Homo-oligomer: A and B are copies of this chain.
């Protein structure tokens, strides 16, 4: 089924203990859409600048992503510069240039209005709400957010949360949003804000899904080399939502598998800088790693 993502497209400059990269294609909507494209047809709404050329557009088109909603505005594309140190569990932002993203108002092409699955990547919660209201009764709406909005736009964020089905959020931000350190209680507090499904991303510790009567854990794939964690969370969300959209099935069985596919895809993302590994992952590799997760988690009862 059709999956629409709204979020950022960026040029990232990244330094990690394993190297660096200058102005490579990134942004939440980019990681999300490329990843989800391995599962289902994807549509993107985002804004880019005049420095976004045919080469970048081709990245999306080569993955069959519908770029009608990729607006080209005057000015430069959003830029992020950051570094990772030590165990790379957190990015240190060195510079953010919002550029065309500063005045971004998502414009939904009429052909997108029937999208059955919707993901509101981390942008201003007022814009997330604005997008959600335009789509005609999606089967599942997911969203992400971050500390900046939790601290700065909590009323707007709460309005958005009341209008979505699933929140896919980092562990630290789940704690911040709920005001509680304990994860099951944080999830319970978030359920009360609206989302029936709460997916908490725990970086190298994997992810956990909370829904009434269901708690399900997926570990992170144990890689010997993590080269660049940038986009891992958005990739995770792309795998999770992409799988659900492909199946069109929101059963418990499907949610469990979706969480594992999210973790599988995130494990590819971090193997190389930027999108490189994701752009050439093979469906067979995805399935192999999915089965590997079973070997790492199942036991006889």
Those of A191-242 within 8 Å (CB) of chain B: 202, 204-206, 208, 215-217, 219, 222-226
A256 an interface residue at 8 Å Cβ cutoff?
yes
How many residues of chain A have a CB within 8 Å of chain B?
39
Give chain B nearest CB distance to A87 CB in angstroms.
4
Contact in complex: A256, B299 (CB < 8 Å): yes
Partner of A208, one of B87, B181, B202, B222: B222
User: CA separation between A222 and B299, bound complex, in Å?
Assistant: 19
Selecting from A69-77, A111-119, A158-166, A182-190, the interface stretch reads: A182-190
Contact in complex: B222, A297 (CB < 8 Å): no
Contact in complex: B185, A224 (CB < 8 Å): yes
A296 an interface residue at 8 Å Cβ cutoff?
yes
A294 an interface residue at 8 Å Cβ cutoff?
yes
Partner of A301, one of B184, B185, B290: B290
Which B residues lie within 8 Å of A185 (CB)? 224
Which B residues lie within 8 Å of A215 (CB)? 222, 296
Partner of A297, one of B224, B226, B298, B300: B298
A213 and chain B: residue at smallest CB distance: B295
A225 and chain B: residue at smallest CB distance: B182
Partner of A296, one of B217, B224, B225: B217
Which B residues lie within 8 Å of A183 (CB)? 204, 222
**A 19-60 to B, binary, CB cutoff 8 A, 1 in contact else 0:** 000000000000000000000000000000000000000000
Give chain B nearest CB distance to A168 CB in angstroms.
18
**A 124-145 to B, binary, CB cutoff 8 A, 1 in contact else 0:** 0000000000000000000000
A-B contact pairs, 28 of them (CB 8 A): A86-B181, A87-B182, A182-B223, A182-B225, A182-B226, A184-B222, A184-B223, A184-B224, A188-B224, A205-B205, A206-B217, A208-B219, A208-B222, A217-B219, A217-B297, A219-B219, A253-B299, A253-B300, A256-B299, A256-B300, A257-B299, A257-B300, A259-B299, A290-B301, A293-B299, A294-B301, A297-B297, A297-B299
Binding site for B on A (CB under 8 A): 86-88, 175, 181-185, 188, 202, 204-206, 208, 215-217, 219, 222-226, 253, 256-257, 259-260, 290-291, 293-294, 296-301
